[in-house]
Amino acid sequence: MPLSPDQLAEIAAQRATPKPTLRAVSEGMEAHLYHAHEVLDHGFVRVIDYMGDDAAIVQAARVSYGAGTKHVSNDEGLIRYLMRHWHSTPFEMCEIKLHVKLPVFVARQWIRHRTANVNEYSARYSILDREFYIPAPDQLAAQSVVNNQGRGAVLEGAEAARVLEMLKRDSNTAYDHYEAMLSETQADGSPQQGLARELARMNLPANIYTQWYWKVDLHNLFHFLRLRADPHAQYEIRVYADVICKVVADWVPIAFAAFEDYRMGGATLSSKAIDCVRRMLKGEQVTQETSGMSKGEWREFIGVVNDPA
């Protein structure tokens, strides 16, 4: 179960006792506050707190850049200008604190984004629950033969059943041993000295669930989302990023729209790539050999400029 009865009761109590405030409030974010958005089989994302909104970005930019932005006639235009020209500090004026429940192997990818504050559930002090991520059948894929970091065809039939059974059996066996090592009572009821929690945890699999509080500013959150909400990102972290995208779109709709346009939907071209585009516009037939690019660069460039249809 993604949320325990105690956590559900805490959420209900928090939402039942709203407090007046003089600070800026995002109505879109208020609707998300404390609610848990379920992810995967046992995970969730929920907003614990936030600071700022679209207006806070504009306010910071006008203090910072002064007369230099007076030609921008409205807040949306200013935010899009900031995003377009890679001005980061105004977006750092907004912050969000999330409570996330996620598999350990996903957490190890997530923690690579080091520009955040993190406090994780401690298995030195507490006992982890018997909750493991088991992929849905449509996510149980073979290793890609063209991408060392990716997945290939989905496993089917007996092979899929064999892998799922191993995942479930090994996870539960490891947890059985974890409980046995912690236990202060033998099978016959006689006392024994249980192993320290900080040692017993090392036998647990990477698909067990952990939890943390994760606080980050909007600029660095956008960087996280650009990488992890990308279609090429690993599915298990991408579904968390997709949920966070929906939350951010309600929190700072103008900034998120600019982010989608310039970061998620845009592309960065090298000077060689720009030169090729200019030559193509003049009617020149440009090839990889005449582009000055490597085969990999050319393949990525063609993927950007070609009509997806």
* Residues marked as catalytic: 228
Residue 98, strand partner residues: 47, 214
Q: How far apart are CA 218 and CA 96, in angstroms?
A: 7
Sorted by sequence, the CB contacts under 8 Å of residue 28 that are 6+ apart come out as: 249, 250, 251, 253
Angle in degrees, 0-180, between the axes of helices 218-228 and 235-251, rounded to the nearest 10? 140
User: Are the C-beta atoms of residues 174 and 205 closer than 8 Å to each other?
Assistant: yes
Dihedral of the alpha carbons of 188, 190, 191, 192, in degrees to the nearest 10: -50
Q: How many CB atoms lie within 10 A of CB 241?
A: 20
β strands within the chain, DSSP E:
36-39, 43-51, 95-103, 117-120, 141-143, 151-154, 209-217
- Could you please report the per-residue DSSP string of 69-100? GTT--SHHHHHHHHHHTT--GGGGG-EEEEEE
